[in-house]
Structure 1
Amino acid sequence: MRELAGAGLTASEVFRRADELLRPVLEFDAVCWHTADPATGLVNSVQSEDLALDEFEHAVRLEVWADDVATFPKIRRSGVHAETLSRATRGRIEESVRFREQVAPAGFGDELRAVFDAAGGMWGCAAFLRAPDRGPYLERHRELADIAARHLGHALRACHVPAGAPVEADPGPAVLVLDRRNRLQALSGPAEELLARLADPTPSSLTVPTSVAMAAEHARRTAHGLAVPQLPVRVRTRDERWYLLHGAALRGGGAEDAVTVVASLASPAEVIPLHLAAFGLTAREQEVALLLVRGGDTRDVSRLLAMTPYTVQDHLKSVFTKTGVGSRQELIARIMLGEGL
């Protein structure tokens, strides 16, 4: 598992390799993998070779609306990386709305969920399902998943290191209108081409990518006056460009629960924190690098972060090593422009 971070794999390849390694030891019968917006932890894709995903729109609604146990956000806030429904409910698994409406109807028993965190960001997550006759997951399964999740966080983070993709002109915002079931009703701008680049690795019952549906559901929560994570949803396309998805609920004209989602290309300033995290920089190293990218010198960084110039230099050496550059100019090119060096 540790070696996956240095294998140069895509996220889909990481998931497939992880499946091969984990299935025999976690003893699951099906798994659903997700990448996530590293800043908010919001799921933005789906991949599964076991599940038909013909009811995935219901899974999205449950994820956004249901106040259930062992959700991905709750697991992350708990300080662990993995949790099972049986443990979270103290053996009363039927108390989980997700079990009653999703897991059991699909023919499964216990569910083990894991979040893949690294460098302060959540890069993905997964739900491992097992048949009822296997019984609940044991504590050793959860502990193994907890360890594996840490390695998977680093592997997925490594997938996001900028590789020097060619810089193309901004095609402008893409606008999509979705009905209450997240079915596409209208689109404008470069939306059709963008939808193809945001498509999930595994087809599902959604008629739009998972990232778009998640942005829409959170817009509906906002319209109902309910708390939502920090928005927008961030998602990276197959050609390694970051987009921001902003959702807004429509009102009047018979547009009940209809939503507009606007997808815009992220600016360099919006992408920099993601790139810094992708290189595996610590929180302090990220602060130093960000100030340097913004034009600060050693004295500026020393004053603003209340550290000695020697400490700044030590952090800077580590930043250079992790990003594979030898100067501040190269660092700016690597972080701001995504140039491969």
Structure 2
Amino acid sequence: MAAQQAIGGLRELAAAGLTAEKVFRRADELLRPLLEYDAVCWHSADPATGLVTSVLSDDLSLAGFEDAVRLEVWADDVATFPAIRRSGVRAETLSRATGGRPADSARFRELIGPAGFGDELRAVFDAHGGMWGCAAFMRAAGRGPYLAQQREFADLAARHLGNALRACHVPPATADGRWETEPGGPGDDGPAVVVLGPANRPLALSGPAEELLGRLADPSRTSLGVPTAFAVAAEHARRAARGLAAPQCKVRVQDGCGRWYVLHGSALKGGSEGEVTVVASPATPADAMPLYLSAYGLTAREQEVALLLVRGCDTRDVSRLLAMKPYTVQDHLKSVFAKAGVASRRELVARIMLAGGTA
């Protein structure tokens, strides 16, 4: 009964109009009694790549958070967030992933064990093709490992949290239906440039960087001195500079006003060892539109239809390009309009373009 009530509460979060921070805090209230964890670290993520972009924890000291970021990017570990996502499940425990030998995990040896925890449960919050966040739940060594039913419950809960976090990324509309994130707001002054040292602390800023760093700040204060998204972009740039696999040097992150930014990291040539430049720019239409369409909860096919409409295609064009019957296109359009809260193609295009700051 308690589990069913918790799932019902998580399901309601998608329609509550909450920020990601409030979703996490309400989820903590619902999940802690059932999963029986002693500490949790919540993260927002770049929905396109799954890279972590923020951190929230009221239980843990984040004084050495740079070590956690380094391990997340560099360590060839078990039950990482990307590995869980690839596995087809939404939740995994360190005890199960290591066959009861958590010390096989680098993050257990360096972070989890020394902090007094005995097991970790990780969950990824996927919805409609995007990973909108993730979390790590730690329990004290004396409690023993997580039970199988707790992992299964976390897997179910993660699906509803994915929907709730996806809904957080739909820009708020005003009473007259216009988006609040219109052009001319913060961030229109051009790229922000931040130079980070080896521990991902800022050495130099240029452009509107200081103001942007404030708007993208983590809910919890860390030892980094910059938002988590900047440190993640920097670590992937360092991997690339070493000639190691680093498929994602681009990180997308949304500010509190609903505006998306793209962060690019690159190692400095001729600078001190480990120094990296991170450039943050307002997202282009190509970067932002798929994110907004996914935030509306559109299916992959509905997103294809919507993108063609934005590009000026009519029903006949969409039918031909996607090899659909015209009535099938109309069915998809009805669903797109309902999910985006619009009544016409023109309103859909205007809403997407304004949300991306491209009108």
Match of 1:167 in 2: 182
Match of 2:67 in 1: 58
Q: Distance in 2 between matches of 1:43 and 1:323?
A: 26
Q: Distance in 1 between matches of 2:330 and 2:235?
A: 45
> How far did residue 205 of structure 1 move?
1.2
Q: Is the 8 A contact 1:55 1:205 kept in 2?
A: yes
> How far did residue 269 of structure 1 move?
2.9
TM-score by length of 1: 0.97
| CA displacement, residues 113-158 of structure 1 (integer Å, 9 cap, x when unaligned) | 0000001000000000000000000100100000000000000000
Match of 1:15 in 2: 24
Q: Is the 8 A contact 1:40 1:229 kept in 2?
A: no
Match of 1:189 in 2: 207
Match of 2:147 in 1: 138
| 2:195 counterpart (177, 180, 185) | 177
Match of 1:103 in 2: 112
Q: Distance in 1 between matches of 2:140 and 2:247?
A: 33
Gaps of 5+ in 1: none
Residue correspondence of structure 1 range 136-285 to structure 2 within 5 A: 136-163=145-172, 164-169=179-184, 170-253=188-271, 255-285=272-302
Q: Is the 8 A contact 2:258 2:355 kept in 1?
A: no
Q: Is the 8 A contact 2:44 2:133 kept in 1?
A: yes
Q: Aligned to 1:60, what secondary structure does the other structure show? A: helix
Match of 2:346 in 1: 329
Q: Aligned to 1:149, what secondary structure does the other structure show? A: helix
Q: Is the 8 A contact 2:259 2:355 kept in 1?
A: no
Q: Aligned to 1:109, what secondary structure does the other structure show? A: strand
| 2:329 counterpart (312, 315, 319) | 312
| CA displacement, residues 236-295 of structure 1 (integer Å, 9 cap, x when unaligned) | 112221111000001224x21110000001123321100000000000000000101110
2:239 is aligned with what amino acid? Answer: R
**Aligned-CA RMSD value:** 1.0
Match of 2:15 in 1: 6
> How far did residue 338 of structure 1 move?
2.0
> How far did residue 54 of structure 1 move?
1.1
> How far did residue 55 of structure 1 move?
1.4
TM-score by length of 2: 0.93
Q: Distance in 2 between matches of 1:186 and 1:285?
A: 43
Residue correspondence of structure 1 range 67-82 to structure 2 within 5 A: 67-82=76-91
Q: Aligned to 1:110, what secondary structure does the other structure show? A: strand
> How far did residue 183 of structure 1 move?
1.5
Identity of paired residues, percent?
Answer: 74
Q: Distance in 2 between matches of 1:260 and 1:338?
A: 28
1:257 is aligned with what amino acid? Answer: G
1:132 is aligned with what amino acid? Answer: A
Q: Distance in 2 between matches of 1:157 and 1:229?
A: 24
Q: Aligned to 1:124, what secondary structure does the other structure show? A: strand
Q: Distance in 2 between matches of 1:252 and 1:324?
A: 52
Q: Distance in 2 between matches of 1:95 and 1:166?
A: 47
Q: Is the 8 A contact 2:133 2:162 kept in 1?
A: yes
